[in-house]
Structure 1
Amino acid sequence: MGVPAFFRWLSRKYPSIIVHCLEEKAKEYNGIKIPVDTSKPNPNEVEFDILYLDMNGIIHPCTHPEDKPAPKNEDEMMVAIFEYIDRLFNIVRPRRVLYMAIDGVAPRAKMNQQRSRRFRASKEGVELVEEKNKMREEVIQRGGYLPPEGIKERFDSNCITPGTEFMDNLAKCLRYYIADRLTNDPGWRNITVFLSDASVPGEGEHKIMDFIRRQRAQPNHDPNTHHCLCGADADLIMLGLATHEPNFTIIREEFKPNKPRPCALCGQMGHEIKDCQGLAREKQGEHDEFADTVPVSEQEFIFIRLSVLREYLERELTMASLPFPFNFERSVDDWVFMCFFVGNDFLPHLPSLEIREGAIDRLVGIYKDVVHKTGGYLTENGFVNLERVELIMQAVGVAEDNIFKKRKDDDVRAHNRCCLLSTRRSGGLVTSDSSNDMDNRGVKRKAENSDSEPEPEDNVRLWEEGWKQRYYKTKFDVDATDDEFRKKVVQSYVEGLCWVLRYYYQGCASWKWYFPFHYAPFASDFKDIKGMFSDFEKGTKPFKPLEQLMGVFPAASGNFLPPTWRALMTDPESSIIDFYPDDFAIDLNGKKYAWQGVALLPFVDERRLRAALADVYPDLSPEEVRRNSLGSDVVFVGKSHPLCDFIRELYFAESHEATEIPAELCHGIQGDSTFIFLFFYAFPIQFKDPQYDGGFVFKAVVLPGAKIPNKVLKPGDWEQSNRGPWRPQLGFNPNRQQAHLDQSAFRKLKGGQYSNAPPPRNYQQGNYYPPQRDHYPQNQCEFYTFQE
C-alpha cells in the first residue's frame, strides 16, 4: 500500500501483533561450515504449512542495498538473493509449499505508479552521479583521500521490470536454485515449490492472493492451513486480512528508523556525501585488510501475527444494538476498505485524511456513528455499497474545514518548538517578536545568507476560506464552479475504490482501468455517487512485457529495449515522444521531501502507444519475442515427493512417449539422484490454477472447520493500544517494545491453535515433529491441471 506510515502506525497502536523471529545459525567445526537442518522443528515453536515470497521485496535490497556495499556483478546479486531466501526458509521452515512470486506485468492502474517511480529513480541516479563527480573533484583538490573509482557502471534498478534480460536471467537462476535445494536440503525434500516468474502477469502479492483464493475454493482445502507471507509492503497486512484465513502470519525485516548509510563517495559511515572530507579510515591493527569497507550488521526479522490483529480489531469494531446482526468478518472487510482512503498504490489519498493525523481512527469512529443510518455493511465479498459509502464520506466532509485548520496549527506549533530547541542549543535567546520571522504559514523565513533551499509557496492554503476553489484551480487548472469536472473526478475515484476492493478480494476486474488524475477530490465532493458505477469492461487483457516497459520506462532506461523501440523514446519525430519528458516537475503537495511529492508526468495513451509499436513489432528478434510472451507458473517436486510419480505418469500419458529425461535439462543435477521437473522448460506443460466461471464469487468468510486460534491478548495489551500519541523514551527503539513478550504466545500446538500454556516436554527437548499428513493424495489432485 502506498502509505509509508501505515505499518509504523499499526505497530504502535497494536504492539502485540509483533514478535521477533528466532533464527538458528549455521555452525562451524574445524573450518567446515555445518548448515542448519531445516527439517527439524521450528525454533519459533510454530509450524508453518506454506511460505509465500513476494520476491520483489527480496530482489531490490539484494541488488542495490542501501546500508552496505553493492554487489560487484550480476553473479553476486544472484548469490545474495539465494542467501536471502535460505535465511527465510530457515526461519519459517514450510512443511508443504513454497510459492515464489515475482512481479509480472501489472494492471494499468499500477503502471502509473511504476512509471512515476522509474522516472524518479532515473532522475535521482543522474543527479547522484553528477553530485559524486563534483564532490570528488572538490575533495581531491583539498588533498583528501578517496577510494579509486572502478569501471563498474551504475546499476540501473529499472531493470527489475518484466521483459528485461535481467529478469529473464533471474528466472533461470531461480530454477537452478530450486533444483539444487530440492536435491540437497533435507528441509526441502517433501515440499512442492511454485515459481511464478516475471513472465506471468500480475503483481507478486496479488498472484499469491489469487493462488490462496483458488485453493480455498477447492473441496479438499485444509481450513487450518498456516500461511506465512514474506514482504515489506503494508498492503500485505490488508491482503492477509482479506483472506479470512485464521492462521496467517507475515514475516518482514525489522524496521530500524534513521538507519545509517555509507557515504556514496568514500563508503564510510557517519556522514553524507555533501559532508565528505575524504579521510581514510585508520587501520585497526597491522592486518586490517578491510580498512576501506563498511561494517555491516545482519538484518533481523519480525513476525506480524494477523490472528492477534484480528483480536484487536474485534474489540475495536464490535458494535451493540445494531439494527442488523453483527458480523465480525464483514466489519474486517469494511475496515480494510476504509484504509484505502488514506492511500494505496492505485489512488491518491483524500486531502483531509492523513494517517499521521489519526485518519483511520477518525474513519472508524465515523463508521460506528453512522452505521445505524447505513443499515448494513459497506462491502461484501469485495463489492462496494456506494450508497452507504456516501454517508461515510459526507461525515468526513463536514469535518474537512476543521481538519485543515488544525493541521496548520499543529505545523506552526511543531515548527516553533523546533526553533526554540535550536535556539537553546546554540545558546541564544528567543525574543518576543520572533514570530515576525514567520510567514502566514508559520514557516520561518529564509535568511538572505542561508544556503538552505526555500520552501515552495503553498498557493492552496487549505486552512483559509476558499480552499476548495484554490485547490481545483491550482491542481486541476479548472474553476471550482465547474461542477461537471468535479463530478468526473469523483466518478473516477469511485470507480477506483470499487476496482481496488475487487482487486483485493476477487482479482483484477480490469487490466486497462486507471485513475486519470494526479490528485484526489475532497470527501465533501462525494455526492449522489450511487449511480456513478455499474461494472468494468469485460475481457480486458494485460500488456505484454515489452509494451509495459514502453509504458513505465524513461528514455534513460531505453537500453533495456530493442533499438527501434528505444528510438520511439528519443526521436524528435516519434509520435509518442511526449510520453518521455527529459525533465518533469514534482509537486510537494504539502509534504516535506521530494519522494513524498507528486510527479507530474503525462499519462500514457494506450491507443497511441499501441499504434506506434505496431510499426516496430516486426523488428523483434526471436529471443525478444520469447521475452515478450506471457508465461505460467511452474511447479517443482523432488524424487521423494508423493506427487512425483503421479505427475510423471500424467506427463508421459499426455506425450505418448515414455522417454528418459535428457541429462542436459538437469542443469548440473544428476538425474539418478533426484527427479526434478525441469523438463517443464523444454516441453509445454505448465501449472494452471483451478478455473472458475466468469461470474464466480470468492467468499470472504472463515471456512467451515477452521479453528480460531486461542486469544493471546491480556487486558494490559489492550489498554496500551488505546493510549494517546505514542512517545518513545530516549534511547528506546519502538520496534523493540515487544521484546519482552512471552514467545509462548506464538506457540502453535497440534490442533493448529495458539496457546499460552507451557509446551509439551518433548517439544522443549527438540524431538517433537508435527504429524505427517498426506496433503496431496493422488485421488485429490483435481486442482493440478495442465495445459499444452
Structure 2
Amino acid sequence: MGIPSYFSHITRRHAKVLNDLRSMIKKNKVDHLFLDANSIIYDASKMNHTNQTIYNRVAEIIKEYIKIINPSGTILVAFDGVAPMAKMVQQRTRRCKGTIEKKYAYEQMKWDTIAITPGTDFMNELPDQLRQRLPDNIHISGPDEPGEGEHKIFRYIRDHNMKNDLCVVYGLDADLIMLSMLNIPYCKQIYLARETQYFYNNDGNEKEGLCCMDISMLTQHLCDDIRNDTYDISNETYISDYIFICFLLGNDFLPHFPSINIRNNGIDLVINAYKKTISKHKCGITYDNCIRWKCVRTLIRELAHDEYGRLVEHYAGIDTIKRRMYKSNKMSDRLKNIPLTDRRDEEYIDPYTNGWEQRYYSTLFNVYPDKKRVSEITRNYIEGLEWTFQYYKVGCIHWTWCYHYNYPPLLNDLINEIPYFDVDVLKREDTLPVHPLTQLSYVIPYKAFHLLPSDVNELLHRKYDELCNDNYEIKWAFCRYFWESNITSPEININDLERDIIFLFK
C-alpha cells in the first residue's frame, strides 16, 4: 500500500520490532519463505541491460535469499500478474510520471523498466527462464497468474495450514505490513524481511544487510496504542480497524486527504479520532469482513471538525519549507520540488477567502461543484473504502471498479453520503481479471508502445487515440514531491478495450 512515509513512521515509533535477519534466523527455524519478487527484477536491472543477464541476476538474488534464510518448507516466488482496475490506474500514473522523471535523471537507465509489466515479452518468458535456473522445489507464481504478488502470497498462507509455522516474507512494499498483520490469525509468526537500508531510509543510517520486522510484535504494539480497556474488543478487530483508518492516509487505490498527512502527525490524528469513535459506540469500526458505517460517520465527523484549520496549517507549513529550501540548479531537483515552487492551484483554492470549497472541486476535479457532482464524488470514495477493505480482507470483489478522481472529497461533504446502516455500498458484480495485453495497453505511456504486439499497437491507434500521446494533465496541489503528483488518466471503457483485445487473439 502506497502510504507515503509509513515505513519511517513505524521504524521511529516501534523500533523494537526490527531486528537483524541473520540474528533472528540463528534463534528460530524458518519454515516457509515467500518472496514478493517484482522488486528483485528492478534491482537486477540496475546493473544488467539485456533480458538474459537480468534473468540470470534475478535467479542469483533468489538463490542468495534462500541460502541466507534457509527455509525447511515452502518457497514461493510471486510476481505481479494482472491487477484490478483500481491498481491499473495507479500503475499508469506511476509509469507516466516515470517517463518525465527519466528525462531529467542524472544517470539514464539502459534497460526500460516499463517492461516489468504483465503482457510484455520479458514478463511472458520470465517464469520459464527462472524454472531453468532454479531448483524444482521452488514454486513460481508468474505474471500469467492474476493478482498482485503480495496478495498471491497471503492467499497461499490462508489456504494452507501455517498457523503454528514461522514464515518470512520478503518485499519492499508497505502493503506487506498491512497484509501481514491481517493474516496473523492464519500464521502467528510472520517476519517481513527487506534490505536494512529501506527500513532506515530517512534517518541517515548507512546500514547494510537484511533486516526483519516482527509482525506479531508490531501487531501487539499497535493494539496497545489504540486499545480502550473499557470495551471488549479483540486484537483482531483492533488491527482490522487500524488498517481501515489508515486508508484515509492514502494508498494505491484512494488519494489521501489534504488535511490529513502522515508527515504532519496524520496517524496520530486518525487514531485519536478512532479512540473517540469507539468510546461513543463501544465497538470496533469493522467486524468479520464488514464495515460499521455508523462508526465511520462518527470517525469522519471527528476528523472534519478542524479540516479547515489543518488546511490553513498546511499552507503555512509549505510556505516555511519553501523559504528554507535549498535552491538547486539541477533539473531533477527542480522537478522533484515543483509542488513547492509552482503552487498556482493551491494559491487559487486559497482557504483564506470565502468560496474555497467550491474552488477545491472546480480546480482539482474539473467540475462545477453542484450538489449532484459532489455527491457522485463522495459516493465513489465511499465505494473505495469498501472495495479496499474487502481487497485486503478477502481478495478482489470487483476487478473493474476504480476511484475516478485524483483527489478525495472534502471531509465535511463525505459525511453526508456515509450510510446510517451496515450495507454493501458497492454493487457486487461477477467480474474477471482482464487480459494481460489489456492491462499493458492501458498502463504504459505512449513512449513505451514498442512493448506492445504490432496488432495491438495498430488497434490502439485506430480506436483508442486518447491513449496514443504523452500529453498529460498533471496536478501536484497538496503534494510535497513530484512523485506524489497526479496524472489524469483517459476515460477508457476497460470493458470495450478488453473485448477488442480478446477479439484480436481469437
- Relative to the length of structure 1, the TM-score reads 0.58
What does residue range 441-590 of structure 1 map to in structure 2 within 5 Å?
A: 454-457=341-344, 458=346, 459-462=348-351, 464-480=353-369, 482-526=370-414, 527-530=416-419, 533-569=424-460, 571=461, 574-590=462-478
- Distance of 1:113 and 1:44 partners within structure 2: 40
Structure 1 position 391 matched with structure 2 position 298: yes
Q: CA offset at residue 398 of structure 1?
A: 0.8
- Distance of 1:60 and 1:540 partners within structure 2: 31
> Conserved in 2, the CA contact under 8 Å of 1:509 and 1:536?
no
When residues 98 and 611 of structure 1 are mapped into structure 2, their CA distance, relative to the original with a 3 A threshold, is closer
Equivalenced residue count is 486
Q: Secondary structure at the match of 1:52?
A: strand
- Equivalent residue for 1:79, pick from 56, 60, 71: 56
When residues 60 and 222 of structure 1 are mapped into structure 2, their CA distance, relative to the original with a 3 A threshold, is closer
Structure 1 position 337 matched with structure 2 position 319: no
Equivalent residue, structure 2, for 1:318: 227
Q: CA offset at residue 257 of structure 1?
A: 4.1
Structure 1 position 307 matched with structure 2 position 216: yes
- Unaligned 5+ residue runs, structure 1? 24-41, 134-152, 183-191, 216-220, 261-296, 423-445, 447-451, 619-788
Amino acid at match of 2:441: M
> Conserved in 1, the CA contact under 8 Å of 2:33 and 2:71?
yes
Q: Secondary structure at the match of 1:51?
A: strand
Amino acid at match of 2:181: L
> Conserved in 2, the CA contact under 8 Å of 1:351 and 1:521?
no
> Conserved in 2, the CA contact under 8 Å of 1:105 and 1:542?
yes
> Conserved in 2, the CA contact under 8 Å of 1:379 and 1:385?
yes
When residues 454 and 508 of structure 1 are mapped into structure 2, their CA distance, relative to the original with a 3 A threshold, is closer
Q: CA offset at residue 366 of structure 1?
A: 1.1
When residues 609 and 302 of structure 1 are mapped into structure 2, their CA distance, relative to the original with a 3 A threshold, is same
Q: Secondary structure at the match of 1:530?
A: coil
Amino acid at match of 2:143: A
- Equivalent residue for 2:134, pick from 167, 174, 178: 178
Q: Secondary structure at the match of 1:22?
A: helix
Structure 1 position 355 matched with structure 2 position 243: no
Q: Secondary structure at the match of 2:400?
A: coil
Greater share of helix residues, 1 or 2? 2
Amino acid at match of 1:460: I
Amino acid at match of 1:210: R
What does residue range 597-746 of structure 1 map to in structure 2 within 5 Å?
A: 597-610=485-498, 612-613=500-501, 616-617=504-505
> Conserved in 2, the CA contact under 8 Å of 1:518 and 1:598?
yes
What does residue range 263-302 of structure 1 map to in structure 2 within 5 Å?
A: 299-302=208-211
What does residue range 48-197 of structure 1 map to in structure 2 within 5 Å?
A: 48-63=30-45, 65=46, 70-125=47-102, 127-128=103-104, 154-179=110-135, 192-197=137-142
Deviations 1:165-210 (A, max 9, x none): 111222112112233xx5xxxxxxxxx5321111000000011111
Q: Secondary structure at the match of 1:44?
A: helix
Q: Secondary structure at the match of 1:86?
A: helix
Q: Secondary structure at the match of 1:248?
A: strand
Amino acid at match of 1:62: A
Deviations 1:487-513 (A, max 9, x none): 111111111111111111111111111
Q: CA offset at residue 412 of structure 1?
A: 3.4
Equivalent residue, structure 2, for 1:235: 175
Amino acid at match of 1:554: P
- Distance of 1:485 and 1:230 partners within structure 2: 43
> Conserved in 1, the CA contact under 8 Å of 2:382 and 2:425?
no
> Conserved in 1, the CA contact under 8 Å of 2:21 and 2:212?
yes
> Conserved in 2, the CA contact under 8 Å of 1:576 and 1:612?
no
When residues 593 and 17 of structure 1 are mapped into structure 2, their CA distance, relative to the original with a 3 A threshold, is same
Q: Secondary structure at the match of 1:95?
A: coil
When residues 548 and 585 of structure 1 are mapped into structure 2, their CA distance, relative to the original with a 3 A threshold, is same
Equivalent residue, structure 1, for 2:330: none
Amino acid at match of 1:243: N
- Distance of 2:10 and 2:130 partners within structure 1: 34
Deviations 1:297-338 (A, max 9, x none): 99521101112212312321221333xx23222111100111
When residues 512 and 307 of structure 1 are mapped into structure 2, their CA distance, relative to the original with a 3 A threshold, is same
- Unaligned 5+ residue runs, structure 2? 328-333
- Distance of 1:385 and 1:609 partners within structure 2: 36
Q: CA offset at residue 535 of structure 1?
A: 4.3
- Distance of 1:79 and 1:564 partners within structure 2: 31
> Conserved in 1, the CA contact under 8 Å of 2:25 and 2:69?
no
Q: CA offset at residue 6 of structure 1?
A: 0.6
- Distance of 2:260 and 2:285 partners within structure 1: 19
Deviations 1:645-701 (A, max 9, x none): xxxxxxxxxxxxxxxxxxxxxxxxxxxxxxxxxxxxxxxxxxxxxxxxxxxxxxxxx
> Conserved in 1, the CA contact under 8 Å of 2:435 and 2:498?
no
When residues 535 and 116 of structure 1 are mapped into structure 2, their CA distance, relative to the original with a 3 A threshold, is closer
Q: CA offset at residue 117 of structure 1?
A: 1.7
Structure 1 position 382 matched with structure 2 position 289: yes
Q: CA offset at residue 343 of structure 1?
A: 1.1
- Distance of 1:462 and 1:301 partners within structure 2: 46
Q: CA offset at residue 211 of structure 1?
A: 1.2
Equivalent residue, structure 1, for 2:307: 400
- Relative to the length of structure 2, the TM-score reads 0.89
Equivalent residue, structure 2, for 1:370: 277
> Conserved in 1, the CA contact under 8 Å of 2:446 and 2:467?
no
Amino acid at match of 1:311: Q
Structure 1 position 47 matched with structure 2 position 29: yes
> Conserved in 2, the CA contact under 8 Å of 1:238 and 1:336?
yes
Amino acid at match of 1:544: H
Deviations 1:593-620 (A, max 9, x none): 32111112213212432454366335xx
Equivalent residue, structure 1, for 2:331: none
Deviations 1:529-557 (A, max 9, x none): 11684443332100011121112122222
Choose 44-53 or 460-469, whichever is displaced more: 460-469
When residues 413 and 565 of structure 1 are mapped into structure 2, their CA distance, relative to the original with a 3 A threshold, is closer
When residues 307 and 163 of structure 1 are mapped into structure 2, their CA distance, relative to the original with a 3 A threshold, is same
When residues 165 and 258 of structure 1 are mapped into structure 2, their CA distance, relative to the original with a 3 A threshold, is same
> Conserved in 1, the CA contact under 8 Å of 2:378 and 2:417?
no
> Conserved in 2, the CA contact under 8 Å of 1:343 and 1:349?
yes
Highest Rg: 1 or 2? 1
Deviations 1:706-765 (A, max 9, x none): xxxxxxxxxxxxxxxxxxxxxxxxxxxxxxxxxxxxxxxxxxxxxxxxxxxxxxxxxxxx
- Distance of 2:305 and 2:283 partners within structure 1: 22
Q: Secondary structure at the match of 1:206?
A: helix
- Distance of 1:299 and 1:385 partners within structure 2: 44
